[in-house]
Chain A
Amino acid sequence: MTALRSDLAIIAREVRAHARILDVGCGDGLLMAALRDTKNVDARGMELNARDVATAVARGLSVVQGDADTDLADYPDGSFDYAILSQTLQTTKRPDLVLDHLVRIGRQAFVSFPNFAQWRMRLAHMFGGRMPVTEQLPHTWYDTPNIHHVTIDDFRSFLDERHIKIEGQWFLSGDKPRNERLANLLAEHAVFLLRRD
């Protein structure tokens, strides 16, 4: 099996066995397949890209082609143990509404995103005077799918405003875990486990 991206590996590790999960923006279903095979979960996915959906369905996964911005409303409250949004938040039109749906549909929600306040980003911006193009965010300003960049501190203050509880948080530099200290400056990626208060 292909090794999971480091943020997905954290989610895969933390999910309870036999849970019901909804992976929003599931791509070709790598995380879902891993969770199905290792944790025996009942996994459902949503993905915008038709080719990725076809690959996921051909893998035997239940994936519907849909848009996180418009197609989450039909899922009933608390219909999944976990709703998962990995590396997708920053690509949505209304991340705030997507997050509301996520903590509504899932009893808990995993959200992972690239931290736009990581020091390399800050340097690129401050000294380069250009929109950062890095390994984790390799797109140029005009073709990036990431239309709502967010930092760890932004995200935390948003959760605070919305009364969403943090039940777990993990930070990554490259593939290496790092602690919470100065995460907003040092972490490239963040993974949060959330619950609606």
Chain B
Amino acid sequence: MRVSVVSHETADMAFLMQNDTRFGLDKKTQLLGPVQLDSGVEFAPVDFAYETYGTLNADKSNAILICHALTGDQYVASNHPVTGKAGWWTRMVGPGKPIDPARHCIISINVLGSCMGSSGPASIDPATGAPYAMGFPVITIADMVRAQASLLDHLGIETLEAVVGGSMGGMQALSWAALYPERVRSAVIIASTARHSAQNIAFHEVGRQAIMADPRWNNGAYYGHEAPAAGLAVARMAAHITYLSEAGLTEKFGRRLQNRDAKSFGFDADFQVESYLRYQGLSFVDRFDANSYLYITRAMDYFDLAEPHDGVLAKAFAGTKTRFCLISFDSDWLYPTAESRRIVHALNAAGAAASFVELSSPFGHDAFLLDAPEMNRIVDGFLRAGESR
């Protein structure tokens, strides 16, 4: 008879969730807050834009939070409202995928500081009735995570089966495990790091300077006017190079010329790789806010998980019961394998249950967004093992 009771509960939960306006696609909500920020600011109110797929089970044990990267968003597995393109991680999330709405209640939240509906510099400051612009407080990765935790409280989700993220999403997953170990049963950290290196900061600074050198940036007060699209496009172009590998670029473009038979002896996009980068820059400005780019890159640069623990990363995970799975890619020079290995060493020293593998891919940092059957096999096995415990 037990079976029927359980299925009743499940059916009830499914019914409740269908009618629960907190769950579903393209959700927006405002919480009174405040969220206590690392800078000392108490930020309130807090807008959240998020999506959920699948149904929370009766004992609320199947929630998976997916954290997005710098320029990602909550549209993990549904079409992007601006570009119309498919979600950014449909290879990992969807029916029959390792993270499956048939099995999991999947939550993805636009991070604090971003520009797809959660509070960010483009949001209206209720105190002034105008966009925050540079009046938005400087935030950190931990701030993003604290804000997410407050939204999960609102959704009635105490414990996460898993927090999953690549790149900056991986930083959030690590921070979740460090800040809320009792709320995270498993963490999947892909192509990520526990701190931004000097080189990481340097590349971000190039991007920020490109934005701030655009006269249209106007100290951030460009809302209602033309946005600093040229600066933001250059920032994106520089960053995009760091997401690819030398071998990948060579394979894709080599020294091939773009729609011409000979060099122009001018400064047009003679080479295919130039044309490609220009396109990447131009298409990015349609969907991203320049000030958000400043704030989020700053948050990443400030990220050093060991810093609050006397520089000893293992202390961030002392006594943790969270299971960890880390994956790196051999051609990723933005967050190279050595950074994942450093996290693994800390987890080993802390006695945590950790898995780690470096996968081979020619595609550099972006490999985690692309077709990677081995990555899917690992994440699937790792999640299922956590579910059977």
Do residues A75 and B381 form an inter-chain contact, with CB atoms below 8 A? no
Question: A53 CB to closest chain B CB, in angstroms?
Answer: 4
Question: A80 CB to closest chain B CB, in angstroms?
Answer: 9
Which B residue sits closest to A52, measured CB to CB?
B357
Asked whether A64 is an interface residue with its Cβ less than 8 Å from the other chain, the reply is yes
Do residues B380 and A58 form an inter-chain contact, with CB atoms below 8 A? yes
The complex places the Cα of A86 from the Cα of B42 at a distance, in Å, of: 56
Q: Which of A42, A57, A66, A79 has the most CB of B within 10 A?
A: A57
Asked whether A74 is an interface residue with its Cβ less than 8 Å from the other chain, the reply is yes
Do residues B378 and A57 form an inter-chain contact, with CB atoms below 8 A? yes
Contact residues of A between 47 and 61, Cβ < 8 Å to B: 50, 53-54, 56-61
A residues within 8 A CB of B351?
Answer: 76, 79
Do residues B388 and A60 form an inter-chain contact, with CB atoms below 8 A? yes
Question: B365 CB to closest chain A CB, in angstroms?
Answer: 18
Asked whether B358 is an interface residue with its Cβ less than 8 Å from the other chain, the reply is yes
Asked whether B359 is an interface residue with its Cβ less than 8 Å from the other chain, the reply is yes
Asked whether A68 is an interface residue with its Cβ less than 8 Å from the other chain, the reply is no
Asked whether B255 is an interface residue with its Cβ less than 8 Å from the other chain, the reply is no
Do residues A57 and B323 form an inter-chain contact, with CB atoms below 8 A? no
With A64-B354, A64-B356 known to touch, is A59 a contact of B385 (CB < 8 Å)? yes
Partner of A50, one of B325, B358, B382: B358
The complex places the Cα of A57 from the Cα of B382 at a distance, in Å, of: 6
The complex places the Cα of A64 from the Cα of B349 at a distance, in Å, of: 13
Partner of B357, one of A54, A60, A71, A74: A54
Do residues A53 and B345 form an inter-chain contact, with CB atoms below 8 A? no
Contact residues of B between 123 and 147, Cβ < 8 Å to A: none
B residues within 8 A CB of A6?
Answer: none
B residues within 8 A CB of A58?
Answer: 377-378, 380-382
B residues within 8 A CB of A76?
Answer: 349, 351
With A50-B359, A65-B357 known to touch, is A60 a contact of B384 (CB < 8 Å)? yes
A residues within 8 A CB of B344?
Answer: 64, 66
Contact residues of B between 354 and 389, Cβ < 8 Å to A: 354-360, 374, 377-378, 380-382, 384-386, 388
Total number of A-B contacts with CB less than 8 angstroms? 68
Partner of A75, one of B325, B348, B353, B359: B348
B residues within 8 A CB of A165?
Answer: none
The complex places the Cα of A65 from the Cα of B343 at a distance, in Å, of: 12
B residues within 8 A CB of A42?
Answer: 353
Could you tell me the dominant secondary structure of chain A's interface residues?
mixed
B residues within 8 A CB of A71?
Answer: 341, 345
Interface size class of A (residues with CB under 8 A): 20 to 34
Q: Which of A56, A64, A75, A79 has the most CB of B within 10 A?
A: A64
Which A residue sits closest to B388, measured CB to CB?
A60
The complex places the Cα of A34 from the Cα of B372 at a distance, in Å, of: 29
Question: A45 CB to closest chain B CB, in angstroms?
Answer: 9
With A71-B345, A74-B349 known to touch, is A53 a contact of B382 (CB < 8 Å)? no
Asked whether A44 is an interface residue with its Cβ less than 8 Å from the other chain, the reply is yes
B residues within 8 A CB of A74?
Answer: 345-346, 348-349
A residues within 8 A CB of B354?
Answer: 44, 62, 64
The complex places the Cα of A71 from the Cα of B346 at a distance, in Å, of: 11
Partner of A60, one of B346, B348, B349, B381: B381
Partner of A54, one of B349, B374, B384, B386: B374
Do residues B349 and A53 form an inter-chain contact, with CB atoms below 8 A? no
Asked whether A8 is an interface residue with its Cβ less than 8 Å from the other chain, the reply is no
Do residues A63 and B345 form an inter-chain contact, with CB atoms below 8 A? no
B residues within 8 A CB of A61?
Answer: 355, 385
The complex places the Cα of A59 from the Cα of B345 at a distance, in Å, of: 22
> Residues of B at under 8 Å CB distance from A?
323, 325, 341, 344-346, 348-349, 351, 353-360, 374, 377-378, 380-382, 384-386, 388
Q: List the 7 closest pairs (A to B, CB-CB), nearest first.
A: A60-B385, A58-B381, A64-B356, A74-B345, A53-B357, A62-B353, A57-B355
24 cross-chain CB contacts under 8 A? A42-B353, A44-B354, A50-B360, A53-B357, A54-B359, A56-B355, A57-B355, A57-B378, A58-B380, A59-B381, A60-B381, A60-B382, A60-B388, A61-B355, A62-B323, A62-B353, A62-B354, A63-B356, A64-B354, A65-B356, A66-B341, A71-B341, A74-B349, A75-B349
